[in-house]
Chains A and B, each alone.
Chain A
């Protein structure tokens, strides 16, 4: 077991967090490999959090070349110096900054488009996080991860304006938690992204967050020939038309997806930094829980909206009609 022990250096650096999750969880973290695709403000926050926490490695994928301010307005990993960023890819720039946060974590870049990677590629990782990508890509990456015999924790994360969404798929997840001084083993079953979003709206539990519906409308709108995030106020009439269609198809009262909310989501294409911090923080926490197998992970959507200040968990699963069990 000697090789398994944390080094003195690790114990000193991670002292405060080992007091939260224990040495065992810290060891698991240090052996985990994380992949993130699409590095905007929220993902930058997430990367900072898990690099500080001391994961084994972090791999970044984002080939977009930094051209204008829009790409780094909420990303503190990119130095706003044209001489530094010109011609460089987003992933490379972020990688350079992240390496600096914790020399014990290997941070690297993979080139290519996430939709082009095969199962073997994902097999190298324990956690896959995708962001700023299309509905089709989300589904296909999720499916590729699910086909592997190894349990990969899959997440999608997106922020628009002052609201954000996290989706979690841990497949069959076994973990332990403390209950009245005793450690008990628990098991959760997650649906895939495709399964979750296919749950008929009429079968959902009461009072599902409006953001869930609104995000599905935007996602669907963009899936019809747009790049992720490539919408503007000019699209609002079409988006509202799509909303009407979807509500009718699902027998959902249209008032559950307020027009004002959709308007906010199509106009606010930039992320709001405080919301990036909140969503990136929650996602970091969830990934740490998943890797360490300690504590209740959230199942399976999380929403935060700075307008009402609520951070809500929604369980959107087929096996879970109304009862909430």
Chain B
């Protein structure tokens, strides 16, 4: 049990938990049991059915309600006399500013996405409040402590960016099932049911890419007097038949690849029409419960459907969208909890996979891939929550030398399932906690300020309320209190190329980017560069000094001779990291969880003192050291 000292610091502490999900539920319970009396908790999410297997504070009757509020009520039932303050809000809301953070003794993260983690890290640095960070996936998990001036910050080691795939792999040469899923979800689904005005590479293989844009648009529009059945079959034949034939005509592409097989609806769907219409009429009228599987009498999401079944699901889902959810068409985005959308994407991906000789997958598996669903179990979350509280108590006692980062492993390493490691010192080139400058290679004559804001400031630096300065000149800012003239001025600047801004940004100059909410300033040295590799540097710019690990998938069967399509192919299609990514497996070679056990990166400070009669070594002072990293990310132990 905790000592009197510990108890006193626990009782007097005011703590902020960010996240009331898998880790959050466990953490709130363990904090309450441990004697914490003033707990604040932020979570913007509402409860879903798939949370109930591990977020034990929630019941079926709570589905749809605020996680933060329901978690509070549930814990107060067994600890009625403590104070729990819930906020059903986004931690990135401006209300949660540096002053808000300053009122707490420690911040405890149980978050599920990289953006929010980075944001909280910056606020903790600015407010000088210690942060205990955590994450889990399946049986793996970790807890780390970040204290300004004592340890590295959460961003000292670059985190892997969401995985992206080269466009030509998706549009023309898929070799894995995930490529088919990305095609079905980001291209076909979006084209048919989403924002029609969005740029879309679905027809990238068309022979006459430059002049055919109007013709292409026509193909996906429903024609006058066309019934849904005819419309659906025409789409089917176009994307699985005609488009593949078109692609095949480009002999160059298939020299070293298996040729795909065009698929037409007549091969699979000849006798279905009459029977299916009857089923559709019987389908439930509530739009959220519309399901092609249900109306075709297919029950098991673990089954792998044959090509014919996939074709029937494709047509049925297509029709159901138009018959039962017509109002939403044009505004739909793929959502892993939208049954009909998952059915459509599964079927479309499987038909495409079949065409390219890629193994088919069940709806259950396809949903996991399409929704980036992270594997999650209650036990790992419970263990991690326990470890967070142990570190939080050390932080409250200012027990600096005892801080540990702890890994929860699936396979024991040196007999350990829970492995404590000493925290590392701050990375001196970290632009977040050391404010060291970055370098940006960019074509200053071609890149617009908008490209810089979107691809660097927001996507790479994670700043949401940026202010951009060049010398004394203010080039851009975001805020509620700007007058009209300024707004117009900034809007105009966004469309200008860097070298033609009112204060021209050219090679050798320095741009200052500041986020007032995060109280973070970053200087970027600009270096002009004429050309960029379209596959390796899809952004057309390169940020260095602190770099995100590149995770653009290598196009292992790199195609050439794509003619008019190459300009489109330069934009990698991002595979969205959705909110359920519960942990970023650390990037630096040193900390890759998967490698810890398999590649033996560990060595111990072995003290092989022999204590006389029996060779049992007192390992009180043993610490696990991670070394053997030859790379640049060498980190020092904190002393």
Pick out which of these stretches binds chain B: A11-19, A32-40, A237-245: A11-19
Quick one: which of A179-219 are within 8 Å of B by CB?
Answer: 201-202, 204, 206-208, 210
Return chain A residues, CB-CB under 8 Å to B299: 8
B447 at the interface (CB under 8 A from A): no
Return chain A residues, CB-CB under 8 Å to B619: 207
A162 at the interface (CB under 8 A from B): yes
Instruction: Tell me the minimal C-beta distance from B54 to chain A in angstroms.
Output: 6
Return chain A residues, CB-CB under 8 Å to B26: 277
Return chain B residues, CB-CB under 8 Å to A314: 415
Task: Tell whether, in the assembled complex, residue B33 and residue A16 are in contact, meaning their CB atoms are under 8 Å apart.
Answer: no
Return chain A residues, CB-CB under 8 Å to B419: 310-311
Quick one: which of B365-415 are within 8 Å of A by CB?
Answer: 368, 373-383, 385-387, 389-390, 393, 404, 406, 408, 410-412, 415
A128 at the interface (CB under 8 A from B): no
User: Which A residue sits closest to B22, measured CB to CB?
Assistant: A16
Given contacts A20-B377, A79-B78, A285-B139, contact A206 B415 (CB under 8 A): no
Greatest chain A CB density within 10 A among B302, B383, B404 is at B383
Task: Tell whether, in the assembled complex, residue A272 and residue B376 are in contact, meaning their CB atoms are under 8 Å apart.
Answer: no
The CA-CA distance from A52 to B377 in the complex, in Å, is 9
Task: Tell whether, in the assembled complex, residue A277 and residue B386 are in contact, meaning their CB atoms are under 8 Å apart.
Answer: yes
The CA-CA distance from A239 to B2 in the complex, in Å, is 22
Task: Classify chain A: how many residues form its interface, as a range.
Answer: 35 or more
Task: Tell whether, in the assembled complex, residue B52 and residue A310 are in contact, meaning their CB atoms are under 8 Å apart.
Answer: no
User: Which A residue sits closest to B411, measured CB to CB?
Assistant: A296
Contact check: which of A23, A206, A208, A273 meets B34 at CB < 8 Å?
A273
Contact check: which of A5, A12, A255 meets B49 at CB < 8 Å?
A12
Given contacts A281-B380, A296-B411, contact A253 B53 (CB under 8 A): no
B56 at the interface (CB under 8 A from A): yes
| B71-87 interface bits toward A, Cβ cutoff 8 Å, 1 = contact, 0 = none | 00000011110000000
Contact check: which of B1, B375, B389, B620 meets A308 at CB < 8 Å?
B620
The CA-CA distance from A296 to B410 in the complex, in Å, is 9
Quick one: which of B42-69 are within 8 Å of A by CB?
Answer: 49-50, 52-54, 56, 59-60
Given contacts A23-B302, A282-B417, contact A15 B379 (CB under 8 A): no
Pick out which of these stretches binds chain A: B123-131, B201-209, B494-502, B608-616: B608-616
The CA-CA distance from A296 to B412 in the complex, in Å, is 10
The CA-CA distance from A206 to B616 in the complex, in Å, is 5
A66 at the interface (CB under 8 A from B): no
B439 at the interface (CB under 8 A from A): no
Return chain A residues, CB-CB under 8 Å to B301: 11
Task: Tell whether, in the assembled complex, residue A311 and residue B34 are in contact, meaning their CB atoms are under 8 Å apart.
Answer: no
Contact check: which of B33, B50, B300 meets A5 at CB < 8 Å?
B300
Return chain B residues, CB-CB under 8 Å to A204: 616
Given contacts A79-B77, A253-B613, A312-B415, contact A281 B53 (CB under 8 A): no
Task: Tell whether, in the assembled complex, residue A302 and residue B417 are in contact, meaning their CB atoms are under 8 Å apart.
Answer: yes
Instruction: Tell me the minimal C-beta distance from B562 to chain A in angstroms.
Output: 33
B160 at the interface (CB under 8 A from A): no
Greatest chain B CB density within 10 A among A20, A210, A273, A313 is at A273
| A274-293 interface bits toward B, Cβ cutoff 8 Å, 1 = contact, 0 = none | 11111011101100100000
Instruction: Tell me the minimal C-beta distance from A132 to chain B in angstroms.
Output: 16
Return chain B residues, CB-CB under 8 Å to A256: 611, 614, 616, 618
The CA-CA distance from A252 to B616 in the complex, in Å, is 9
The CA-CA distance from A101 to B382 in the complex, in Å, is 15
Given contacts A281-B383, A313-B412, contact A251 B53 (CB under 8 A): no
Instruction: Tell me the minimal C-beta distance from A96 to chain B in angstroms.
Output: 12
Quick one: which of B178-204 are within 8 Å of A by CB?
Answer: none
Task: Tell whether, in the assembled complex, residue A45 and residue B382 are in contact, meaning their CB atoms are under 8 Å apart.
Answer: yes
The CA-CA distance from A80 to B368 in the complex, in Å, is 41
A271 at the interface (CB under 8 A from B): yes
Instruction: Tell me the minimal C-beta distance from B76 to chain A in angstroms.
Output: 11
The CA-CA distance from A78 to B77 in the complex, in Å, is 9
B242 at the interface (CB under 8 A from A): no
Task: Tell whether, in the assembled complex, residue B389 and residue A274 are in contact, meaning their CB atoms are under 8 Å apart.
Answer: yes
B617 at the interface (CB under 8 A from A): yes
The CA-CA distance from A202 to B611 in the complex, in Å, is 13
Greatest chain B CB density within 10 A among A12, A14, A19, A206 is at A19
Task: Tell whether, in the assembled complex, residue B368 and residue A19 are in contact, meaning their CB atoms are under 8 Å apart.
Answer: yes
A270 at the interface (CB under 8 A from B): yes
Return chain A residues, CB-CB under 8 Å to B1: 161-162, 268-272
Return chain A residues, CB-CB under 8 Å to B80: 80
The CA-CA distance from A278 to B622 in the complex, in Å, is 21
Task: Tell whether, in the assembled complex, residue A313 and residue B390 are in contact, meaning their CB atoms are under 8 Å apart.
Answer: no
Given contacts A54-B53, A76-B78, contact A252 B613 (CB under 8 A): yes
B420 at the interface (CB under 8 A from A): yes
Instruction: Tell me the minimal C-beta distance from A25 to chain B in angstroms.
Output: 11
Greatest chain B CB density within 10 A among A18, A54, A73, A295 is at A18
A306 at the interface (CB under 8 A from B): yes
A138 at the interface (CB under 8 A from B): no
The CA-CA distance from A277 to B387 in the complex, in Å, is 9
Quick one: which of A125-169 are within 8 Å of B by CB?
Answer: 161-162
The CA-CA distance from A277 to B420 in the complex, in Å, is 17
Return chain A residues, CB-CB under 8 Å to B78: 76-80
Contact check: which of A8, A207, A275 meets B386 at CB < 8 Å?
A275
B586 at the interface (CB under 8 A from A): no
| B338-365 interface bits toward A, Cβ cutoff 8 Å, 1 = contact, 0 = none | 0000000000000000000000000010
A53 at the interface (CB under 8 A from B): yes
Given contacts A14-B53, A49-B379, A210-B618, contact A253 B612 (CB under 8 A): yes
User: Which A residue sits closest to B293, measured CB to CB?
Assistant: A8
User: Which B residue sits closest to A12, measured CB to CB?
Assistant: B49
Task: Tell whether, in the assembled complex, residue A277 and residue B30 are in contact, meaning their CB atoms are under 8 Å apart.
Answer: yes
| B509-541 interface bits toward A, Cβ cutoff 8 Å, 1 = contact, 0 = none | 000000000000000000000000000000000
User: Which A residue sits closest to B615, measured CB to CB?
Assistant: A206
Given contacts A206-B617, A208-B616, contact A13 B52 (CB under 8 A): yes
Return chain A residues, CB-CB under 8 Å to B377: 16-17, 20-21, 53, 285
Return chain B residues, CB-CB under 8 Å to A161: 1
B40 at the interface (CB under 8 A from A): no
Instruction: Tell me the minimal C-beta distance from B296 to chain A in angstroms.
Output: 15
Return chain A residues, CB-CB under 8 Å to B617: 206-207
Return chain B residues, CB-CB under 8 Å to A306: 390
Quick one: which of B1-16 are within 8 Å of A by CB?
Answer: 1-2
Instruction: Tell me the minimal C-beta distance from A40 to chain B in angstroms.
Output: 12
The CA-CA distance from A100 to B618 in the complex, in Å, is 46
Tell me the B residues contacting A by CB distance below 8 Å: 1-2, 26, 29-30, 32-34, 49-50, 52-54, 56, 59-60, 77-80, 138-139, 299-302, 364, 368, 373-383, 385-387, 389-390, 393, 404, 406, 408, 410-412, 415-420, 611-620, 622
Tell me the A residues contacting B by CB distance below 8 Å: 5-6, 8, 11-21, 23, 41, 45, 48-49, 52-54, 73-74, 76-80, 100-103, 161-162, 201-202, 204, 206-208, 210, 251-253, 255-256, 258, 268-278, 280-282, 284-285, 288, 295-296, 298, 302, 304, 306, 308-314
Known: A206-B616, A208-B616, A277-B26. 14 other contacts (CB 8 A): A12-B49, A16-B373, A16-B377, A20-B375, A23-B302, A48-B56, A76-B32, A201-B614, A207-B617, A271-B1, A309-B390, A311-B419, A313-B412, A313-B416
Closest 8 CB pairs of A and B: A311-B418, A277-B386, A309-B420, A281-B383, A273-B33, A281-B382, A278-B386, A274-B386
27 A-B contact pairs sorted by A residue (CB < 8 Å)? A6-B302, A13-B53, A16-B373, A20-B375, A20-B377, A48-B56, A52-B56, A76-B32, A80-B80, A162-B1, A206-B616, A207-B616, A210-B618, A252-B616, A255-B618, A269-B1, A274-B393, A276-B33, A277-B385, A281-B380, A285-B379, A285-B380, A304-B418, A308-B420, A309-B387, A309-B390, A310-B420
